[in-house]
Amino acid sequence: MQEQHLEITVSGRYLVEVPDGDGPFPLLAGFHGYGQKAEDSLALLGSIPTSSGWIRLSIEALHPFINVKGEPGASWMTRCDRELRIAENVRYVDSVIEQVMATLPVDGRLVVHGFSQGAGMACRAALLGSHAVAGVMLLGGEIPPEFNDLERMRVVHLGRGDYDHFYPKKHFENDLRRLRDACIEPSQSIFQGGHAPSDDYFAAAGQFIAGIV
């Protein structure tokens, strides 16, 4: 048996909300969690108070399926052909951001936000992608273990519910250590709750993006 791979063209889906006015505006790009859709991430970004002055971009993963609720969702990663999937995802995200920057009044600032499984994709966009980021926001998901050089993340905000079993405290503390080893002192939001964000998280996230210059 021989295993072969054939590269083909597939369509990705993304949603954009643009503030009123002429701009230019900073760009906030969101990556949803496992089994979610672009609408979920866009709603999350819209709940951040100071995001109203940002172009909000929600990128949907390339691998659709029916989730446990019987609804359509998508996944960023699978254990099968992991390195190939990572490269494809990074190229896809680069292309989406390039198109948005070419067609909308973006002022050059790009912040990426990842929730749960999307946190890994936000890290890969920042560390492997062709567009330099002004900041990275990670909620309920850890930095992928294969990265040693985290400097391109520049400034980082980490969010975790205090009883989030999907993002255990030891993983959170390991991410803090890795960032500090890279001379990045992340801002933190540890809120009461589980895997889903709370009002306290949104308030802290709003303060973070308000400080991006």
- d(Cα 154, Cα 84) in Å, to the nearest integer? 26
> CATH topology for 14-210?
Rossmann fold (3.40.50)
pLDDT band at 23 (very low <50, low <70, confident <90, very high): confident
- d(Cα 122, Cα 31) in Å, to the nearest integer? 7
pLDDT band at 78 (very low <50, low <70, confident <90, very high): confident
pLDDT band at 67 (very low <50, low <70, confident <90, very high): confident
Contact in structure between 63 and 10 (CB atoms under 8 Å): no
Contact in structure between 113 and 204 (CB atoms under 8 Å): no
> What does the mean pLDDT of the chain come to?
95
| CB proximity list for 139: less than 8 A, separation 6 or greater | 113, 114, 115, 116, 119, 159, 160, 197, 201, 205
Percent of the chain clearing pLDDT 90 (strictly above)? 88
What global pTM score does this model have? 0.95
Report pLDDT digits (tens) over 98-150.
999 999 999 999 999 999 999 999 999 999 999 999 999 999 999 999 998 99
